[in-house]
């Protein structure tokens, strides 16, 4: 008996009604995820609101668009505010000389001034501040991130191979001369286009997840040249070593949108020799050039 002979089952272009329903549900879940990502990106103080990346030194300096004189030293980041100037840090108004203290690597503290958030952070061992203005034109003109249409064939099952001990891995950054060091707990091995491939993985932003940074044959052509990122869930307790890589959810890092991000670049071994025609494309704000 063929599929079309089963009572209550229709076929369309070789697909059953159940197949079409599954495809529609898959696409709907992806669309909801993609809308949520764009909403976070364009939020009031999201990545599209950055107006500068300012490297601090021992010499107090003024920063366009924010009050005070900013510097750093052995005690950490300091701001000297004028008599009529005030910031709000941790919900508490501060004036005069305010010591933020030593900011941990990849950490940060926010100071609020009117509708502006001033991010105080450390990246690559350097203290920086980045003002976030909600009225920035990049945010005002943002119309969403283009992406390949979701396709279930880009959902790949692989395996996670943990290293005996995490491997400190130094990678470059979107800012020239900057370096990031991450502990790599293992790698993800999978097959794509008939080839066995692997990606060195870093710890993810959420517990129980990994982050893989990669480029592929589409990088600089249809996708952002420097990097894309994919979140992979670690195998659960007693679940063996199987993991799922959904390349439909390969995303741009903030540096794809703004020059004021310090995003890490993929390790050299994460340059895939195949074209991953899935996930987010080059942002319209960057045009189509590499």
In tens, the pLDDT along 36-71 reads 999 999 999 999 999 999 999 999 999 999 999 999
Q: Which two tokens stand for residue 265?
A: 């670049």
> Looking at residue 240, what is its pLDDT?
77
Both 157 and 282 in a single domain?
Answer: yes
Q: With pLDDT > 90 as the criterion, what percentage of the chain qualifies?
A: 87
Both 122 and 149 in a single domain?
Answer: no
The reported pTM is 0.88
Both 169 and 99 in a single domain?
Answer: no
Both 114 and 238 in a single domain?
Answer: no
DSSP string, 73-114: ETTEEEEE--TT--EEETTEEE-SEEEEEPPPTT-EEEEEET
CA distance 290 to 285: 13
Out of 132, 156, 179, a domain closes at 132
Both 120 and 185 in a single domain?
Answer: no
Both 92 and 187 in a single domain?
Answer: no
CA distance 133 to 175: 21
Residue 30 lies in a domain: no
Mean pLDDT over all residues of the chain?
A: 91
Residue 27 lies in a domain: no
Both 245 and 201 in a single domain?
Answer: yes
Which contacts qualify for 59-67: CB closer than 8 Å, 24 or more apart?
A: 63/129, 63/131, 64/131, 65/116, 65/131, 65/133, 66/113, 66/116, 66/118, 66/129, 66/131, 67/113
Both 149 and 281 in a single domain?
Answer: yes
pLDDT above 80: residue 3: no
**What is the helix (H) or strand (E) element at residue 38, kind and residue range?**
helix 17-41
pLDDT above 90: residue 28: yes
Out of 76, 102, 132, a domain closes at 132
Residue 260 lies in a domain: yes
Q: Are 129 and 136 in contact (CB under 8 A)?
A: no
Quick one: pLDDT band at residue 289, thresholds 50, 70, 90? Answer: very low
Residue 140 lies in a domain: no
- Return the SS3 of 6: coil
What average pLDDT does the segment 145-154 reach?
A: 97
> Looking at residue 178, what is its pLDDT?
93
Q: How far is CA 2 from the centre of its chain?
A: 46
> Looking at residue 14, what is its pLDDT?
60
> Looking at residue 195, what is its pLDDT?
94
Both 185 and 220 in a single domain?
Answer: yes
> Looking at residue 5, what is its pLDDT?
28
DSSP string, 105-159: TT-EEEEEETTEEEEEEEETTEEEEEEE-TT-HHHHT-----BPPP-GGGEEEEE
Residue 20 lies in a domain: no
CA distance 172 to 109: 24
Domain count, the chain: 2
> Looking at residue 8, what is its pLDDT?
31
Q: How far is CA 108 from the centre of its chain?
A: 16
- Return the SS3 of 69: strand
Q: Which two tokens stand for residue 46?
A: 């999201």
Both 209 and 277 in a single domain?
Answer: yes
The helix/strand count (H/E) of the chain reads as 2, 18
> Looking at residue 18, what is its pLDDT?
78
Strand 228-233 to 116-123 pairing: unpaired
> Looking at residue 15, what is its pLDDT?
65
Residue 40 lies in a domain: no
Both 266 and 180 in a single domain?
Answer: yes
What average pLDDT does the segment 260-275 reach?
A: 97
CA distance 264 to 248: 21
CA distance 238 to 220: 40
Comparing 16-25, 175-184, 197-206, the range with the smallest average pLDDT is: 16-25
Q: Are 98 and 71 in contact (CB under 8 A)?
A: no
Both 211 and 158 in a single domain?
Answer: yes
CA distance 253 to 223: 11
What average pLDDT does the segment 13-34 reach?
A: 85
Quick one: pLDDT band at residue 286, thresholds 50, 70, 90? Answer: confident
The residue segments making up the domain with residue 94 are 52-132
């Amino acid at each position: 008996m063929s599929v079309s002979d089963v009572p209550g089952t229709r076929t369309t272009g070789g697909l059953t009604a159940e197949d079409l329903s599954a495809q529609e549900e898959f696409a709907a879940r992806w669309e909801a995820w993609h809308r949520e990502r764009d909403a976070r990106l364009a939020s009031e103080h999201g990545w599209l609101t950055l107006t500068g990346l300012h490297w601090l030194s021992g010499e107090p300096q003024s920063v366009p668009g924010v009050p005070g004189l900013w510097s750093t030293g052995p005690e950490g980041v300091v701001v000297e505010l004028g008599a009529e100037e005030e910031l709000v840090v941790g919900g508490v108004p501060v004036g005069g000389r305010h010591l933020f203290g030593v900011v941990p690597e990849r950490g940060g503290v926010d100071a609020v001034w009117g509708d502006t958030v001033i991010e105080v952070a450390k990246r690559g061992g350097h203290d920086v501040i980045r003002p976030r203005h909600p009225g920035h034109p990049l945010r005002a003109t943002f119309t969403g991130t283009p992406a390949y249409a979701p396709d279930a064939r880009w959902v790949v099952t692989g395996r996670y191979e943990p290293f005996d001990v995490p491997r400190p891995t130094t990678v470059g950054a979107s800012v020239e001369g900057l370096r990031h060091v991450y502990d790599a707990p293992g790698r993800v091995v999978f097959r794509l286009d008939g080839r066995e491939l692997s990606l060195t993985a870093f710890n993810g932003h959420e517990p129980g997840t990994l982050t893989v940074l990669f480029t592929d044959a589409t990088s600089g052509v249809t996708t952002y040249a420097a990097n894309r990122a994919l979140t992979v869930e670690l195998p659960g307790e007693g679940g063996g070593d199987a993991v799922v890589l959904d390349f439909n959810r390969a995303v741009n890092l903030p540096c794809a949108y703004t020059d004021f991000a310090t995003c890490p670049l993929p390790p050299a071994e994460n340059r895939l020799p195949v074209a991953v025609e899935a996930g987010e494309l080059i942002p319209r704000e960057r045009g189509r050039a590499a």
